[in-house]
Amino acid sequence: MKQLGDRKFLPYISCNKIQQRIAELGNEINIAYEGKELVIISVLNGSFIFTADLVRQIEIPVDLRFIRVSSYQSEQSSGKVTQILGLTGAIKDKHVLVIEDIIDTGLTIAEIHNQLIEQQPASIEVASLLLKEDVYRGKIKINYLGFAIPNRFVVGYGLDLDGFGRNWPEIYQVV
């Protein structure tokens, strides 16, 4: 059992299970993009460890880039506005794979997807380590998924609670 603040966490997905699944995903990506080049756009901060492990399973040429997203409440509209920060270099006519740590409602990935599509990539696919499938109400296909999980808060392997827990080597679930 681990603790962050007053919240307790139990081990949920082991290092071994994570690495096995990532090897499978890497294999699928190598087959899908055989003979092509890939621009990988990793969404910081949470996906930094997943990205580091997944890209080392990929054998085709990879141009690796990192973005952050900032969300804020818009005064004009009732919804959240997501802005992409730090994307350098054009993606027009390139094959793009976005790497996320976790997809919950899907709002963040939908916004990222919409904004990248505007730049007219040749193709765009999504890889996510985790998906809260009961909560997800998006239309975007998650092409490479590590694990579908229930709607419980998870930490570790890059995922945080208020900045802490990212360094835990396996994934923990709140008790």
Active-site annotation, residues? 104
Closest CA to 37 of 91, 104, 78, 1: 91
Nearest CB to ligand 5GP, comparing residues 121 and 165 = 165
For ligand 5GP, the closer of residues 94 and 138 by Cβ is: 138
Q: Is 13 in the site for ligand 5GP (CB under 6 A)?
A: no
Max alpha carbon distance in the chain (Å)? 50
Which of 26, 46, 121, 146 touches ligand 5GP by CB under 6 A? 46
What backbone torsions phi and psi does residue 60 show, to the nearest 5 degrees? -75, 160
For residues 86 and 48, what is the distance between their CA atoms, to the nearest angstrom?
Answer: 15
Decide if residue 155 touches ligand 5GP (CB under 6 A).
yes
Which residue from 18, 41, 96, 154 is in contact with ligand 5GP, where contact means CB under 6 A?
A: 154
Stretch that binds ligand 5GP, among 4-12, 17-25, 58-66, 100-108 (CB under 6 A): 100-108
Q: Does 51 bind ligand 5GP (CB under 6 A)?
A: no
Distance, in Å, from the CA atom of 121 to the CA atom of 93, rounded to the nearest integer, reads 4
CA 27 – CA 76 distance, rounded (Å) = 45
Total interface residues for ligand 5GP by CB under 6 A: 14
Cβ contact 42:48 at 8 Å: yes
Helix boundaries (H) for the chain:
15-32, 48-55, 107-117
Phi, psi dihedral angles at 4 (to 5 degrees): -130, 120
Nearest distance from C-beta of residue 113 to ligand 5GP, angstroms? 11
Is residue 158 at the binding interface for ligand 5GP, with CB under 6 A as the rule?
no
CB of 14 to ligand 5GP, least distance (A): 17
Verify binding: residue 133, ligand 5GP, rule CB under 6 A.
no
- Residues making contact with ligand 5GP (CB under 6 A): 46, 101-108, 153-155, 159-160
